[in-house]
Amino acid sequence: MKKIVIAIDGPAASGKSTTARLVAERLGYLHIDTGAMYRAITWKVLEEKIPLDAVDRIQKLAEKTHIRLERSPRGNTVYLDDKDVSDAIRLPNVTKSVSHISSYQVVRDVMVREQRRMAKEGGVVLEGRDIGTVVLPNAELKIYMVADVAERARRRKKELEHAGVGVDEHALIEEIQERDRRDSTRTVSPLKKAHDAMELDTSKLTVDEQVEFIVRRAEELVKGTKTK
Ligand code: DC
């Protein structure tokens, strides 16, 4: 059976990770959370107390750091030089600085090289901001997920509370809007919908509906009953 590449892009907290994980599970594909890779390198920058504007040091760090993603029931378990940083990379200090680190071309070059390597054989679902536009412009199926900001903040709050972190919903709305602004206005690989991506507004959809929508299109593409 032919194995395709599925690219899921969209703004912060639009439901990409949960959806990508479940789509990958249904199809027997590998799920690659590229945001987790940018978060991991950001965590290391903070851990080593490297100033956020020390781009040369950050580049060296990105080149020598080994990031590994493993499948787990919650999504990707993220290993940084064999240390499990899956929970640490979701904390607010990393979230606050990640847009800064991911705006450096030199960091992106390292991450994109790795992402293309992982996608080489097909049978993958990659999620991020620039997968359909820059990383894998030839992906057979491209989805651009959106949801209104209040709904996104509500989902993120639930997720953080689950991890034992209490946050104010209004502060979350501001943080999400600020991150979207930075991610979509940066000069390198900004967040934007690829011209051939299908937009999926998840504001009023259940997770099952989102997953079903994507799985059905993937199956149609594999069977050759539908073109992009
Ligand atoms: O999906 P996320 O919220 O975990 O992503 C964290 C940050 O990483 C996000 O604010 C922008 C950046 N990112 C990126 O620049 N390119 C990607 N392909 C994925 C994430």
Is the CB of residue 7 less than 8 Å from the CB of residue 135?
A: yes
* Entry pTM: 0.93
Report which residue type is found at 72. S
Give the residue, by CA position, lying nearest to ligand 1 atom 11: 99
Q: How far is the CA of 128 from the centre of ligand 1 (A)?
A: 6
Among protein residues, the one whose CA lies closest to atom 16 of ligand 1: 129
At 165 the pLDDT is 82
Those residues of the chain that have pLDDT short of 50 are none
Counting from 1 in the atom list of ligand 1, the atom nearest the Cα of 183 is 11
pLDDT of the residue at 58: 98
pLDDT of residue 227: 54
| CATH match for 5-206 among 3.30.1360.120, 3.40.190.10, 3.10.110.10, 3.40.50.300 | 3.40.50.300
Ligand 1 pocket check for 75: Cβ under 6 Å? no
Residue 90: CB within 6 Å of ligand 1? Answer: no
What are the angstrom distances between the C-alpha of 62 and each of 31, 39, 56, 148? Answer: 22, 12, 10, 33
Q: What is the pLDDT of residue 214?
A: 98
pLDDT for residue 228: 53
